[in-house]
Amino acid sequence: MSLWEYANPVKFMRLSGAVLPWLSAAAAVALVAGLGWGFATPPDYRQGATVKIMFVHVPAAMMAINAWMMMLVASLIWIVRRHHVSALAARAAAPVGAVMTVIALVTGAIWGQPMWGSWWEWDPRLTSFLVLFLFYVGYIALWSAVEDPDSAADLTSVLCLVGSVFALLSRYAALFWNQGLHQGASLSVRAGERMAPVYKQPLYLCMLAFFLLFLALVLARTRTEIRRRRTAALIAREARP
Amino acid sequence: MAPLLTVTMLAVARGGRRAVEGVSFQLDPGAALILRGPNGIGKTTLLRTVAGLQDPVEGRIDLVPDSVAYAGHADGLKGALTVAENLAFWAQLFGAGRAQVDAALRALDLGDLADRPAAMLSAGQRRRLGLARLLVTGRPLWVLDEPTVSLDAASVLLFASAVRAHLACGGAALIATHVDLGLPEAAVLDLTPYRADPARPAGRAPASFDEAFG
Amino acid sequence: MKAVFLRDLRLAFRAGGGVGLGLAFFLIVCTLVPFGVGAGGDILSRIAPGIMWVGALLACLLSLDRIFALDGEDGSLDLLATAPLPLEGVVLAKAAAHWVTTGLPLVVAAPLFGLLLHLPTPALPWLLTSLALGTPALSMLGAFGAALTVGVRRGGLLLSALVLPLYIPTLIFGAETVRLGAAGQDPATPLALLAGITLAVVAAIPFAAAAALRVNLR
């Protein structure tokens, strides 16, 4: 049996239904443990207690990008192999990714305020996350605007492909545009090798927790989407003469 | 003589659901086929599929590439351009010359209106201009969707003679209509028996999201 | 392709085509900004490159829905899709016509608006060059957005939300070129990147836009 068998909605529902409770439980445990461990770490000698916001900020930022990657892969699978579950998974991941982006932006602002003395700086890193959020908004808006679900899946996939290229392009353009102004303001903490192990270990756990959380959310949302499509199909069949 | 169009066990979908399925027919040069059937059975969808605007769900459509001239419900006219300019644009796009434009204008009795902006035409005149476009495409297979809507009796005759002239030159026509076109020689295919069965037998390719999840 | 291009041009210049609208909008933006930020010559000349580029972006956005929406409504798009010209060619021709009716007038009128905003004289040639090189990308990306939303009723706002993020790299490099030029530095790098983006967009986006059109025609 090939992996593609799970793209069949019925099989997907059966498998995901079995996996989801365990996945959710694992995500909850990892989240509580990771964040608890993170908050128990000693304050940084330079940044004080504000450094602890890192345990939310960094995993959220990571998942904001990974969610878009996942959407890109799912869109490609839909375009190439026409697996309906794949298109719905991409749709399900978008709001989760958008929320992760918002979390990363908000926690970044809260973290940056005492560090840089302002809530928002047009740092390339911050700017590219704002741009990423705009791409999420456009993608979600297109999904909800197109009435025919097949057309919506096709159009959003094309948008996701083109958007990926331009999101990346914007990232480097932003780097070019505001190079050096705020460079390094937070990099020393983010770069793993220069971080004390006392922070690194809980951070890894938090990253795992956010990853599991993302998986659980996307799986649950995909199941909702499938149920919604099934309802629509049943209603359409009833309405038939 | 090779047929211009061969349709084999064709199934088409509209709005994500199969409309008709199992349709087969063949169109030889010089032949016309009229599609009939109640509203909503999928005549327009079938024609759009044959014209290549959408993909069939199942089955085969065999035709020579770039042989279809399609005319749908809308005529694709620009109100700001004159009758002659509208026609000249399509002629240029399909590689036809000035002579064909004039001939098409004459054939559908639009000669007197040539310099009038298309926005000032009546519904029937617009329709005639839309049909004149078929003549300048130079394509052998006409795929027409309700071509005589808003035409008066005299114009229907003009249309019928234009179709006959096209058939006489080795062309073919596939026409969906409810009304009498004045083409008694055309074969008629009623689509009612081909209405798709909503209960999807296992193993068929899903036409869309709805079928995949139904 | 020439036929489609000429037809779109002719339609734009006929009554109701709105060819001067983008230019008028650009003028209004350049008039309003000094009211908003104050007419002190120093502020204006510093932000002039950015205003010119943002203004060009918005002026371009205004007429995007004309590229495919009208043809979609009156059935022309169906007929164009069955014509011998591939849809990619249709997209290219229509984007080119859009550029000639909105981008090109902006490039030509830019020195005048630069004067209004006290743009430093050394920046002027760079403004012209960057607009000339950048605005084709704006039209092409706009055509992609218009192709995505051609089936959506009242899709104007959605179109803006989809297209504007795609404009960011062009805007950054375009405005950067003018800014460096105004500061007397060498703007060759952003200009080269700007030209690169435009070339890549013109080469690749017609395929994406044509794919979106085909989906919307179904």
For the segment C16-40, what is each residue's pLDDT rounded down to a tens digit? 666 778 888 888 888 888 888 877 7
Q: For C124-143, what is each residue's pLDDT tens digit?
A: 888 999 999 999 999 999 99
Q: For A123-160, what is each residue's pLDDT tens digit?
A: 777 888 899 999 999 999 999 988 888 889 999 999 99
Other residues' Cβ atoms within 10 Å of the Cβ of residue A118:
9
- Which C positions 78-137 lie with beta carbon below 8 A of chain A? none
Q: Is the pLDDT of residue B120 over 90?
A: no
**Of C127-131, C151-155, C187-191, which has the strongest mean pLDDT?**
C127-131
DSSP per residue, C189-201: HHHHHHHHHHHHH
pLDDT value, residue C50: 85
Q: Which fold is adopted by the domain B1-67+140-214?
A: Rossmann fold (3.40.50)
Model confidence at A195, pLDDT cuts 50, 70, 90, reads low
Instruction: Compare CB distances from C15 to B69, B73, B80 and report the shortest one's residue.
Output: B80
Q: For C110-119, what is each residue's pLDDT tens digit?
A: 888 888 888 8
Residues in chain C with CB shorter than 8 Å from the CB of A176 are: 172-173, 176, 190, 193
CB contact under 8 A, C82 and B89: no
CB pairs under 8 A between A and C: 76
**Average pLDDT value for chain C:** 87
Touching chains, B (3+ CB pairs < 8 A): A, C
Residue B184 burial class via C-beta count within 10 angstroms: exposed 0-12, middle 13-18, buried 19 and up: exposed
Q: Is B54 an interface residue toward A (CB < 8 Å)?
A: no
Q: For A59-87, what is each residue's pLDDT tens digit?
A: 898 899 999 999 999 999 998 888 888 88
- What single letter denotes the amino acid at residue A237? R
- Which C positions 75-114 lie with beta carbon below 8 A of chain B? 75-85
Segment A206-228 shows an average pLDDT of 92
Q: For chain C, which residues make up each domain, given as ranges?
A: 22-217
- Which B positions 48-107 lie with beta carbon below 8 A of chain C? 48, 51-55, 66, 68-78, 80-81, 85, 89-90, 92-95
Rg (CA), chain C: 18
Instruction: Compare CB distances from B78 to C11, C80, C85 and report the shortest one's residue.
Output: C11
Residue ranges in A82-196 assigned as alpha helix (H): 84-116, 124-145, 149-177, 187-190
**Tokens read off for A210:** 């956010």
ipTM over the 0.90 cut-off? no
- Residues of chain A whose beta carbon is less than 8 angstroms from a beta carbon of chain B are 9, 84, 87, 148-150, 153, 226, 229-230, 232-234, 236-237, 240
| Alpha-carbon gap, residue C63 to A229, rounded angstroms | 36
CB contact under 8 A, C172 and A166: no
Touching chains, A (3+ CB pairs < 8 A): B, C
Other residues' Cβ atoms within 10 Å of the Cβ of residue B39:
6
**Tokens read off for A31:** 């989240």
Q: Is A179 an interface residue toward C (CB < 8 Å)?
A: no
CB contact under 8 A, A229 and B211: no
CB contact under 8 A, C75 and B74: yes
More confident residue, B207 or A143: A143
pLDDT value, residue C82: 86
CB contact under 8 A, B214 and A237: yes
- How far off is chain B from C85, nearest CA to CA, in Å? 7
Model confidence at C184, pLDDT cuts 50, 70, 90, reads confident
Segment A223-237 shows an average pLDDT of 82
pLDDT value, residue A215: 93
Q: Which of A143, A161, A165, A166 to mutate to test the interface with C (most CBs of C within 10 A)?
A: A166
Least confident of A98-107, B159-168, C4-13: C4-13
SS (H, E, C) A25-69: HHHHHHHHHHHHHHHCCCCECCCEHHHHHHHHHHHHHHHHHHHHH
- How far off is chain A from C162, nearest CA to CA, in Å? 5
What 8-state DSSP symbol labels residue A6?
G
| Alpha-carbon gap, residue C104 to C112, rounded angstroms | 14
pLDDT value, residue C201: 93
CB pairs under 8 A between A and B: 39
CB contact under 8 A, C215 and A163: no
Letter string b/e over residues B92-120, b meaning 16 or more CB atoms within 10 A of that residue's CB: bbbebeeebbbebbebbebeebeeebbee
